[in-house]
Structure 1
Amino acid sequence: MEDTRSTPELRAALLDAALIHVAFDGWSQATFAAACTDADIDPALAKSLFPRGAVDLALAFHARGDAEMVARIKREPLDGLRFRDRIAAAVRYRLEAVEDKEAVRRATTLFALPVYAGDGAKAVWGTCDLIWETLGDRSDDFNWYSKRATLSGVYSATVLYWLGDTSEDHAATWAFLDRRIDDVMKIEEVKGAVNKNPLLRGLMTGPNWVLSQIKPPSKLPRADLPGSYRPK
């Protein structure tokens, strides 16, 4: 009998089914096979949705958390907060979107493997890009990269701390996050002091000009590739 569920419904069903097994088998082929059986989805169809099996399921799990974080950022009243507090709130929302810490622990182990390290780094970068973009970042030079690279370091360290945190309501994790952001803000204060110093500002004119020419990647589709379109 043909499965009449939509692609998003099938993907969600597979992911939900997989999460039941991840604590025991990790993000593995065994988990993927069990998810196919539990969700009553033909393995061939499941492979078309997640070509690399459990690895792509783990990435879908991460993307689900990202989507929940973005939705919460948009509905929470953050406008009255300092920007550093908005960043801290966004990271906290991302971690609070996780209902199964063990699934994150297993994903961290998976993406620590050299063969999947690139996928893990891309997922973390994507999370931090979403945070900056949702909070209204309009950087169009080297700052676009430096902001996301810095936040990626803060986010990754906070996730690792959170995985081992047993404090009530993860209070220790939020304190750790605040300390890491304070460290970053100290760097920004130094940069600000350099720009205010006439001598140092003059010395940095050349390097700053070079950095200003570095642009973020375009989010528009490539017009010279199959399947793209050119707006009229």
Structure 2
Amino acid sequence: MYRFAAKRLLRFPAIQLAGGSECFRSTGTLGPAISKLSPSFCTSVESPPPTQTPNIPSAGNSSGSRSQQPRAQYQDEQVRVLNASLRHVPRLGWTESAMVAGARDVGVSPSIVGAFPRKEAALVEHFMDECLQKLMDMIDSDEDLNNLIPSDRIAKLVRTRLELQAPYISKWPQALSIQAQPMNVPNSFKQRAMLVDEIWHAAGDEANDIDWYVKRTILGGIYSTTEIYMLTDSSPDFRDTWAFLNGRVRDAFDFKKSIQEAQYLAEAIGAGMGNSVQGFMNSVFKK
């Protein structure tokens, strides 16, 4: 469901730019408003000035172009700052200090950090966006992935995603704490929901009924418990974590039992509460 570009484009909020242009985030996730923008996702929301001359070159002569260019450049600087800040996270944590250090690395005034309304959360969400993009690139390029059975595909993709957190493992409890703050929960939840959906899509899932929700709930639980297990794993290269992950995936892939039982439970709850449960799940996962 999330995989289709049209739904992804319509689901995510637009970013209003100077000059009346509306651009959708190009990363396809619900990260901070400073995500990279793609010109192909921009659409004008204001009529052009009535005196506009049709044959004037567009290389900066228009006042609209002049008003948009500084804003676009500023947003690009924000992305550069976030990318550079990640290098300082293992030492400084998911903090404003790491972002100030990142700004200095790329030659940007540290005052730019004040433009992020949820500073530390913006850094964590940017990292989540970047990890999802890397995972999607791997899915698209790894030809061997299609040769694996679905359970092995899922285990490999969850491991690949969690390995991206390994360099930050000592500071990841702080990231989880930031994600759990009330103002950050909606973005965190939707980022994780999209991650789970991408993994199921790569595993060949085409469900569009109650199984769609059940499968993603199960995988979300596997991902979260493995993520927590990883925080306390002192084995070489997180060997015990991957063994734990493989065991949970094997257990979950007894679909004739686990999914059917979960479906019966969901249907029983739905029967007792009317359509409110289904409406809530639709609003969370499909919007």
> Aligned match of 1:30 in 76, 85, 97?
97
Q: By percentage of residues, which structure has more strand?
A: 2
Structure 1 position 74, deviation (Å): 2.2
> Aligned match of 2:242 in 171, 174, 181?
174
Report the counterpart of residue 129 of structure 1 in structure 2: 197
4+ residue segments displaced more than 4 Å: 2-9, 43-48, 191-194, 213-221
* Larger mean Cα displacement after TM superposition, 25-34 or 60-69: 25-34
In 2, distance between residues paired with 1:148 and 1:25?
Answer: 34
Q: 1:192 to 1:38 in 2, by over 3 A?
A: closer
Q: Which runs of 5+ in 2 are unaligned?
A: 1-68
In 1, distance between residues paired with 2:177 and 2:260?
Answer: 41
The answer to whether the 8 Å contact 1:62/1:123 transfers is: yes
Report the counterpart of residue 154 of structure 2 in structure 1: 87
In 1, distance between residues paired with 2:160 and 2:247?
Answer: 17
Structure 1 position 179, deviation (Å): 1.1
In 2, distance between residues paired with 1:128 and 1:101?
Answer: 20
The answer to whether the 8 Å contact 1:140/1:216 transfers is: no
Structure 1 position 7, deviation (Å): 6.6
**Structure 1 segment 197-212 matched on structure 2, within 5 A:** none
In 1, distance between residues paired with 2:252 and 2:202?
Answer: 20
Q: Compute the RMSD of aligned alpha carbons.
A: 3.7
* Larger mean Cα displacement after TM superposition, 106-115 or 77-86: 106-115
Q: Which runs of 5+ in 1 are unaligned?
A: 195-199, 222-232
Secondary structure of the residue aligned to 2:146 is coil
Q: 1:192 to 1:43 in 2, by over 3 A?
A: closer
Partner amino acid, structure 1, of 2:247: R
Q: 1:102 to 1:64 in 2, by over 3 A?
A: farther
How many residue pairs were aligned? 207
> Aligned match of 2:121 in 55, 64, 69?
55
Residue 75 (str. 1) matches residue 133 (str. 2): no
Report the counterpart of residue 66 of structure 1 in structure 2: 132
In 2, distance between residues paired with 1:132 and 1:190?
Answer: 19
Residue 107 (str. 1) matches residue 175 (str. 2): yes
In 2, distance between residues paired with 1:53 and 1:11?
Answer: 11
> Aligned match of 1:21 in 65, 79, 88?
88
* Cα deviations by residue, 1:128-151 (Å, 9 ceiling, x for unpaired): 122123344322222222221111
The answer to whether the 8 Å contact 2:89/2:168 transfers is: no
In 2, distance between residues paired with 1:220 and 1:119?
Answer: 14
In 2, distance between residues paired with 1:176 and 1:108?
Answer: 20
Structure 1 position 21, deviation (Å): 3.4
Q: By percentage of residues, which structure has more helix?
A: 1
